[in-house]
């Protein structure tokens, strides 16, 4: 029976951050609005947003895309959300909160006020352009200040400080980090890890100043500020961002005389109750067992305990693990448990340091070597998940614990889903165990989506997504449930199965494929979807290499392939002609300059040794490419899931250390494999000696010259999850090298999943590197000739897609902004910066 609304006791939640929002979610899910009238006060104008990914605000995400829920979730759930209304006091005597707009009675009250950025009391810290990095409004202020700045400094080299440094670098500021401690991230890494972290960050162009205490800030001579340090050295900068730690937002609790910690924070018990039983506290404002937890996962666990307390349950908060896996300025950093090894007497440590690859790993184990007490990772977090499971579940370590951090041809060690105990935590954000996932499956969940909906696993930071899928698939199969690997709702097949069907039956159109093996009819309107159409387009191109611009194939392409250019954020396109091996004649350089001038294009040399021309309007693309093709250029396939570039050093042509012609080999490889469509983009490199100036060991295909031939490395990549390539073969002559690459690429194209990089494909390959060697080098499957023939078909059918398009009036009809108007897009607005045009 429903209680009349006005008779329900009032529950007020102060704070609408991630933890406060999670509490509201818990209360709505558990039907708390039947018991309480719930009101939430948020002092910001934005509803709860994802602070974990706050820096993506500078990369194009807006407040709405960062929001934790849709705008109507609170109202639909029976919760009143009052934004832009600050609570200024709590009157415990009468049970009311006071805001800048009125007084509101409460029966129960939850403090979820979070924390604020600590600004050291440095004389001059209150000057203009001295900012903090905490909220969306803070980021708006930083962006506004950066418009008139060229340099920026972050005070604080911890987790948030490096996030802030990344933001300043993204705003095109020359950036420096100033840290009081002797190293960056002193809470997470030791001296060796800190030094490596410094090197990696400085290599990205960020200046790092450690062991520096700022004495005062004054007017600069060349810049807006001058920072004066304890040794009287100075640093000038236009913008300063303070990120020197956080402090609990506990002023409301302090003013109403709740019990406080000696250094701040509202004291709570295991049920999240403060010294006043009507008031609870959660998140970074709460002090539990003399500890404040500055991560979102412990806050979520507090929110669950608080919701249970409010609803009469007995769930308690029992502390939280502070292990973290981060990517800061693109650099992996991981810390697990007692990473410094100073909390357990007799602990033993194992360290691995590779100064060339810039990787550092440290294990801290019990005195008997059987239990993992902590771990530290800098440069490669691929080892984190396995180490975390050993630590979190107190699993007995292998006989040689050091093997867990030593490099291997098999890559980072992994634990199968069957090796994990039921108590293993799969999702730390929502504290979901393997046992909870198994219970959900036993209760009727039959796919990954149902498990996520029921447990909320992988809906927080998302870092557990791969492990969650592995556990769900394993548990479903163990129960005799067939795991659906269909590529989408239109095809009950995997990508590999579709590839085999296309090859065996010689199917050359999407319509024929879906008619024979899919759901629907070729004449159906809106046939296919954004998953299957590009996947099939890639398969057809990999098999037969017909032009993607042909009438039968163009409806399958995404925007970039449709217009054979990468769409940029302002609706213009990039033009990237092929420059094989990075070698280009002066005449061609002149043409690129002339085209860029004529069409007002922004020019940039890429890391793949090509020249990008940005800002091309859609209707100008055919004319631009007409001039480039006339000068001897061809498409660089920068827009496709295909072979992009073959980077090279100058090799024996010029370098006194070179032992082979790396430029010539790079050009040969690029011309051979140009136009090869694949499940994901492919990058190559050729180095003329083991000094490795072309960085071949970070590419999908890497070739390094030796005194006796070529060494072949495969399955490396950069990006969000960097992975070093693995040595497949040594001392190959030119013919053997080409044969091995042909087979490797076609085996990958044939067997990889949709949008699966070579590194991920290799990690999932049964039998690992030894199996791949057997297939490619020893032809263990007897398909070597077939793979080579497939590659030759692709090579024989290559044509420059732009050359074909500019000579076909039908294909050129696509290149206009409006179907019924020949005018250019009026919404494209640019501004000038450093002598070039960029999006306004």
What pLDDT digit, counting tens, does each position of 724-769 carry? 899 999 999 999 999 999 999 999 999 998 888 998 899 878 888 8
Point out the domain boundary residue: 244, 273, 300: 244
Q: In whole angstroms, what is the distance from residue 379 CA to residue 274 CA? A: 42
Number of structural domains the chain divides into: 4
Q: Are both 777 and 689 inside the same structural domain?
A: yes
Token duo for residue 830: 């640019």
pLDDT band for position 461 (50/70/90)?
A: low
Q: Are both 165 and 50 inside the same structural domain?
A: no
Range of the domain at 52: 5-116+248-310
Planar angle of CA 624, 630, 635, nearest 5 degrees:
60
Helices (H), 62-187: 63-66, 73-76, 136-146, 159-170
- Give the mean model confidence (pLDDT) for residues 836-840: 76
Residue 463 pLDDT = 60
Helices (H), 584-641: 586-598, 621-630
- Give the mean model confidence (pLDDT) for residues 295-318: 92
Q: In whole angstroms, what is the distance from residue 374 CA to residue 378 CA? A: 14
- Give the mean model confidence (pLDDT) for residues 290-304: 90
pLDDT digits (tens, 9 = 90+) for 147-161: 999 999 999 988 888
Q: In whole angstroms, what is the distance from residue 318 CA to residue 227 CA? A: 44
Instruction: Look at the block and give the residue holding tokens 């067992």.
Output: 289
Yes or no: say if 8 and 272 are a contact pair by the CB < 8 Å rule.
no
Question: CA nearest 574: which of 604, 538, 547?
Answer: 604
pLDDT band for position 3 (50/70/90)?
A: very low
pLDDT digits (tens, 9 = 90+) for 324-348: 877 777 788 889 989 888 888 889 9
Question: CA nearest 684: which of 764, 632, 738?
Answer: 738
Residue 381 pLDDT = 82
Token duo for residue 760: 């991920």
Task: For residue 635, count other CB atoms closer than 10 A to its CB.
Answer: 25
Residue 818 pLDDT = 62
Q: Are both 642 and 778 inside the same structural domain?
A: yes
Residue 523 pLDDT = 47
Residue 645 pLDDT = 93
Q: In whole angstroms, what is the distance from residue 138 CA to residue 131 CA? A: 7
Point out the domain boundary residue: 244, 266, 299: 244
User: Does 78 map to a domain?
Assistant: yes
Q: In whole angstroms, what is the distance from residue 642 CA to residue 675 CA? A: 6
Yes or no: say if 748 and 761 are a contact pair by the CB < 8 Å rule.
yes
Cα separations (Å) of 623 from 807, 810, 835? Answer: 11, 15, 24
User: Does 635 map to a domain?
Assistant: yes
Q: Are both 791 and 653 inside the same structural domain?
A: yes
The contacts found for 807-811 with CB under 8 angstroms, 24 or more apart, are 808/549, 810/551, 811/549
Q: In whole angstroms, what is the distance from residue 272 CA to residue 797 CA? A: 68
Q: Are both 257 and 236 inside the same structural domain?
A: no
- Give the mean model confidence (pLDDT) for residues 461-466: 64
pLDDT digits (tens, 9 = 90+) for 572-610: 899 999 999 999 999 999 999 999 999 999 999 988 899
Residues contacting 390, CB < 8 A, separation 6+? 372, 397, 404, 415
The rounded mean pLDDT for the chain is: 88
Where does 502-630 show beta strands of DSSP type E? 573-575, 602-605, 611-616
Q: In whole angstroms, what is the distance from residue 294 CA to residue 243 CA? A: 14
- Give the mean model confidence (pLDDT) for residues 789-818: 87
pLDDT digits (tens, 9 = 90+) for 364-385: 999 999 999 999 999 888 888 8
Q: Are both 290 and 165 inside the same structural domain?
A: no
User: Does 748 map to a domain?
Assistant: yes
Q: In whole angstroms, what is the distance from residue 540 CA to residue 187 CA? A: 52
Planar angle of CA 407, 411, 415, nearest 5 degrees:
110
- Crossing angle, helix 465-478 and helix 434-442, to 10 degrees? 50
Q: Is residue 839 predicted with pLDDT exceeding 80?
A: no
In degrees and rounded to multiples of 5, residue 490 shows phi and psi of -90, -15
Residue 6 pLDDT = 56
Q: In whole angstroms, what is the distance from residue 612 CA to residue 604 CA? A: 5
Token duo for residue 8: 């329900």
CATH number of the domain at 637, please. 3.30.413.10
Lowest-confidence segment of 54-63, 199-208, 400-409, 644-653 by average pLDDT: 54-63
Residues contacting 397, CB < 8 A, separation 6+? 365, 369, 370, 371, 372, 390, 404
Lowest-confidence segment of 27-41, 267-281, 308-322, 811-825 by average pLDDT: 811-825
Q: Are both 693 and 656 inside the same structural domain?
A: yes
The greatest distance separating any two alpha carbons of the chain, rounded to the nearest whole angstrom, comes to 87
Q: In whole angstroms, what is the distance from residue 177 CA to residue 161 CA? A: 8
- Give the mean model confidence (pLDDT) for residues 262-290: 95
Lowest-confidence segment of 19-23, 266-270, 338-342, 488-492 by average pLDDT: 488-492
CATH number of the domain at 299, please. 3.50.50.60
Q: Are both 607 and 536 inside the same structural domain?
A: no
User: Does 97 map to a domain?
Assistant: yes
DSSP H or E segment with residue 24: helix 18-29
Helices (H), 674-767: 734-751, 758-763
Point out the domain boundary residue: 223, 244, 265: 244
pLDDT digits (tens, 9 = 90+) for 55-66: 777 766 778 878
Q: In whole angstroms, what is the distance from residue 290 CA to residue 298 CA? A: 14
Is the pTM for the entire model greater than 0.85? Answer: no
Question: CA nearest 385: which of 445, 476, 471, 292?
Answer: 471
Yes or no: say if 706 and 659 are a contact pair by the CB < 8 Å rule.
yes
Yes or no: say if 641 and 681 are a contact pair by the CB < 8 Å rule.
yes
Yes or no: say if 23 and 303 are a contact pair by the CB < 8 Å rule.
yes
- Work out whether strand 174-178 and strand 151-155 pair parallel, antiparallel, or are unpaired: parallel
User: Does 199 map to a domain?
Assistant: yes
- Give the mean model confidence (pLDDT) for residues 498-510: 90
User: Does 302 map to a domain?
Assistant: yes
- Give the mean model confidence (pLDDT) for residues 51-55: 78
Q: In whole angstroms, what is the distance from residue 585 CA to residue 410 CA? A: 42
Planar angle of CA 523, 526, 531, nearest 5 degrees:
115
Residue 17 pLDDT = 93
In degrees and rounded to multiples of 5, residue 219 shows phi and psi of -65, 135
In degrees and rounded to multiples of 5, residue 614 shows phi and psi of -105, 155
Task: For residue 206, count other CB atoms closer than 10 A to its CB.
Answer: 20
Q: Are both 59 and 206 inside the same structural domain?
A: no
Yes or no: say if 316 and 307 are a contact pair by the CB < 8 Å rule.
no
Q: Is residue 481 predicted with pLDDT exceeding 90?
A: no
Q: Are both 258 and 235 inside the same structural domain?
A: no
User: Does 135 map to a domain?
Assistant: yes
3-state DSSP call for residue 188? coil
How much of the chain is helix, strand and coil, in % rounded to 5?
Answer: 35, 20, 45
pLDDT digits (tens, 9 = 90+) for 701-714: 999 999 999 999 99
Q: In whole angstroms, what is the distance from residue 84 CA to residue 109 CA? A: 19
Cα separations (Å) of 528 from 151, 438, 490, 545? Answer: 50, 34, 6, 21
- Give the mean model confidence (pLDDT) for residues 427-435: 81
User: Does 440 map to a domain?
Assistant: no
Q: In whole angstroms, what is the distance from residue 294 CA to residue 259 CA? A: 20
3-state DSSP call for residue 200? helix
Q: In whole angstroms, what is the distance from residue 39 CA to residue 680 CA? A: 48
Annotated binding-site residues for [4Fe-4S] cluster read 649, 655, 689, 693
User: What secondary structure letter does DSSP report for 577?
Assistant: B
Q: Is residue 1 predicted with pLDDT exceeding 50?
A: no
Q: Are both 654 and 782 inside the same structural domain?
A: yes
Most confident of 184-193, 462-471, 703-712: 703-712
pLDDT digits (tens, 9 = 90+) for 514-571: 888 887 644 444 477 878 888 999 999 999 988 888 888 888 888 888 888 888 887 8
Q: In whole angstroms, what is the distance from residue 79 CA to residue 36 CA? A: 9
- Crossing angle, helix 621-630 and helix 586-598, to 10 degrees? 160
Question: CA nearest 334: which of 286, 385, 297?
Answer: 385
Q: Are both 600 and 733 inside the same structural domain?
A: yes
3-state DSSP call for residue 386? helix
3-state DSSP call for residue 427? strand
Per-residue b or e along 424-445, where b marks 16 or more CB atoms closer than 10 Å to that residue's CB: bbbbbbbbbbbebbbebbeeeb
How long a stretch of residues is the chain? 840
Annotated binding-site residues for siroheme read 693
Residue 460 pLDDT = 63
Annotated binding-site residues read 649, 655, 689, 693
- Work out whether strand 79-83 and strand 37-42 pair parallel, antiparallel, or are unpaired: parallel
Helices (H), 224-267: 251-255
User: What secondary structure letter does DSSP report for 178?
Assistant: E
Q: Is residue 626 predicted with pLDDT exceeding 90?
A: yes
Question: CA nearest 307: which of 49, 27, 59?
Answer: 27
């Amino acid at each position: 029976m429903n209680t009349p609304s006005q008779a329900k006791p009032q529950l007020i939640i102060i704070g609408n951050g991630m933890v406060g929002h999670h509490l509201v979610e818990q209360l709505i899910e558990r039907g708390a609005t039947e018991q309480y009238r719930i009101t939430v006060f948020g002092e910001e104008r934005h509803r709860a947003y994802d602070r974990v990914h706050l820096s993506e605000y500078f990369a194009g995400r807006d407040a709405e895309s960062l929001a934790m829920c849709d705008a109507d979730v609170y109202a639909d759930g029976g919760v009143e959300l009052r934004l832009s209304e600050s609570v200024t006091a709590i009157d415990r005597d009468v049970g009311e909160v006071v805001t800048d707009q009125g007084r509101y009675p409460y029966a129960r009250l939850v403090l979820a006020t979070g924390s604020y950025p600590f600004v050291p009391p440095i004389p001059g810290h209150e000057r203009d352009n001295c900012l903090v990095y905490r909220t969306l409004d803070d980021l708006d202020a930083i962006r506004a200040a950066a418009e008139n700045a060229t340099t920026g400094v972050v005070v604080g080299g911890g987790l948030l400080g490096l996030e802030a440094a990344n933001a300043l670098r993204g705003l095109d500021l020359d950036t420096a980090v100033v840290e009081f401690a002797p190293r960056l991230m002193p809470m997470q890494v030791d001296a060796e890890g800190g030094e490596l972290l410094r090197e990696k960050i400085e290599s990205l162009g960020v200046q790092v100043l450690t062991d520096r205490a700022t004495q005062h800030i004054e007017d600069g001579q060349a810049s807006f500020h001058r920072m004066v340090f304890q040794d009287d050295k100075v640093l000038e900068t236009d913008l300063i961002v303070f990120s020197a730690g956080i402090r609990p937002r506990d002023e409301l609790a302090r003013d109403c005389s709740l019990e406080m910690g000696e250094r701040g924070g509202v004291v709570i018990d295991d049920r999240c109750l403060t010294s006043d039983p009507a008031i609870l506290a959660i998140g970074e404002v709460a002090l539990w067992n003399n500890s404040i937890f500055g991560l979102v996962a412990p806050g979520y666990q507090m929110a669950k305990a608080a919701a249970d307390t409010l609803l009469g349950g007995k769930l308690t908060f029992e502390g939280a693990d502070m292990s973290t896996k981060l990517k800061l300025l693109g650099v992996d950093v991981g810390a697990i448990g007692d990473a410094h090894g100073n909390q357990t007497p007799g602990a033993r440590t194992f360290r691995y340091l590779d100064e060339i690859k810039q990787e550092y790993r440290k294990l801290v184990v019990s005195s008997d070597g059987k239990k993992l007490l902590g771990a530290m990772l800098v440069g490669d977090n691929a080892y984190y998940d396995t180490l975390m499971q050993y630590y979190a579940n107190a699993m007995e370590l292998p006989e040689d614990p050091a093997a867990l951090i030593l490099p291997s041809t098999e890559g980072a060690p992994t634990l199968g889903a069957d090796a994990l105990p039921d108590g293993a935590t799969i999702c730390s954000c929502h504290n979901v165990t393997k046992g909870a996932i198994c219970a959900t499956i036993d209760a009727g969940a039959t796919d990954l989506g149902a498990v996520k909906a029921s447990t909320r696993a992988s809906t927080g930071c998302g870092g557990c997504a791969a492990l969650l899928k592995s556990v769900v698939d394993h548990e479903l199969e163990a129960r005799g449930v067939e795991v659906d690997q269909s590529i989408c709702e239109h095809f009950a097949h995997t990508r590999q199965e579709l590839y085999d069907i296309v090859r065996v039956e010689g199917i050359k159109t999407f319509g024929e494929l879906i008619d024979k093996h899919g759901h629907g009819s070729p004449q159906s309107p809106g046939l296919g979807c954004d998953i299957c159409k590009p996947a099939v387009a890639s398969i057809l191109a990999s098999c037969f290499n017909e032009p993607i611009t042909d009438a039968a194939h163009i409806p399958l392409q995404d925007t970039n392939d449709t217009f054979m250019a990468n769409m940029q954020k302002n609706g213009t396109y990039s033009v990237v002609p092929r420059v094989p091996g990075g070698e280009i004649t002066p005449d061609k350089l002149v043409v690129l300059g002339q085209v860029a001038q004529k069409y007002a294009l922004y020019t940039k040399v890429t890391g793949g040794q090509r020249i990008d021309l940005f800002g091309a309007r859609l209707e100008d693309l055919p004319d631009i490419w007409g001039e480039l093709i006339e000068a001897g250029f061809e498409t660089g396939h920068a827009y496709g899931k295909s072979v992009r570039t073959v980077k090279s050093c100058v090799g024996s042509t010029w370098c006194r250390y070179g032992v082979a012609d790396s430029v010539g080999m790079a050009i040969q490889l690029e011309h051979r494999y140009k136009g090869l469509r694949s499940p994901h983009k492919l990058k190559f490199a050729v180095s003329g000696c083991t000094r490795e100036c072309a960085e071949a060991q970070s590419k999908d295909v890497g070739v390094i010259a030796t005194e006796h031939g070529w060494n072949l490395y495969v399955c490396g990549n950069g990006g969000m999850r960097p992975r070093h390539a693995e040595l497949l073969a040594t001392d190959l002559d030119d013919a053997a090298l080409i044969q091995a690459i042909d087979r490797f690429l076609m085996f990958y194209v044939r067997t990889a999943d949709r949008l699966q990089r070579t590194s991920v494909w290799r990690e999932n390959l049964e039998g690992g590197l030894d199996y791949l060697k057997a297939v490619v080098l020893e032809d263990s499957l007897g398909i070597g000739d077939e793979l080579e023939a497939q590659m030759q078909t692709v090579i024989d059918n290559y044509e420059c897609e732009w050359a074909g398009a500019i000579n076909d009036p039908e294909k050129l009809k696509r290149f206009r902004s409006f179907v019924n108007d020949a005018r250019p897009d009026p919404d494209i607005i640019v501004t000038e910066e450093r002598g070039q045009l960029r999006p306004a």
